Amino acid sequence: MEARTRVAELRSLILAAQESYYVNDAPTVADGEYDSWVQELATLEGEFPELATEDSPTKQVGGKAATGFAAVSHLDRMLSLDNVFSLSELEQWVSKVARDTGQNASDIELLCEVKIDGLAVSLVYENGVLTRGVTRGDGRVGEDVTANVETIKTIPHFLNGDDIPGLVEIRGEVFLPVDEFNALNMQLVAAGQTPYANPRNTAAGSLRQKDAKITAGRNLRFYAHGIGYLDWPSQSPIPFQKQSQFYGLLRDWGVPVSPYFRVAKGYPGAAKMVADYQNRRHDLEHEIDGIVIKVDDLSAQQNLGNTSRAPRWAIAYKYPPEEVHTRLLAIEVGIGRTGRATPYAVLEPIKVAGSTVSRATLHNQEVVKAKGVQIGDVVVLRKAGDVIPEVLGPVSALSNDGHPRSPFVMPKNCPECGTELRPMKVGDIDLRCPNAESCPAQVRGRVEHIGSRGALDIEALGEVTAAALTEPLPPLTPALHTEAGLFNLTLDELLPIEVVVRDWETGLPRVDDNGVEIRRTPFRKKNGEPTSAAALLLSEIEAAKSKELWRQLVALNIRHVGPVAARALADRFGSLTAIQSASEIELAAVEGVGPEIANSIINWFAIPWHQEIVNRWKSAGVRFAIPDHPGPEAMALAAASGNYSAESAGPLAGMSVVVTGTLDSFSRTEAADAIRAAGGKPVDSVSKKTNYVIVGANPGSKAAKAELLGIPVLDEAQFQALLENGSPVS
Active site residues: 115
Q: Is the peptide bond before 475 cis (omega within 30 degrees of 0)?
A: yes
Q: Which of 552, 589, 559 is nearest to 572 (CA)?
A: 589
- d(Cα 176, Cα 204) in Å, to the nearest integer? 9
- d(Cα 242, Cα 331) in Å, to the nearest integer? 53
Q: Which residues, listed in sequence order, are joined to residue 432 by a DSSP beta bridge? A: 340, 422
Euclidean distance between the first and the last CA atom of the chain, given in angstroms as a whole number = 72
Residue type (1 letter), 330: A
CA atoms within 13 A on the CB side of 125: 23
Contact 317, 84 (CB under 8 A): yes
Q: What is the DSSP letter of 22?
A: I
Q: What is the DSSP letter of 422?
A: B
**Bridging pattern class, strands 656-660 and 692-695:** parallel
CA atoms within 13 A on the CB side of 424: 8
- d(Cα 261, Cα 387) in Å, to the nearest integer? 25
* CA-based radius of gyration for the chain: 30
Kind and range of the H or E element at 683?
strand 681-683
- d(Cα 157, Cα 153) in Å, to the nearest integer? 9
Q: Which of 483, 458, 454, 457 is nearest to 470 (CA)?
A: 483
Q: Which of 447, 622, 482 is nearest to 544 (CA)?
A: 622
556's CB contacts (< 8 A; 6+ apart) are: 604, 610, 613, 614
Q: What is the DSSP letter of 15?
A: H
- d(Cα 434, Cα 447) in Å, to the nearest integer? 18
CA-to-CA separations, 610 to 198, 205, 476, 599, in angstroms, rounded: 46, 55, 25, 15
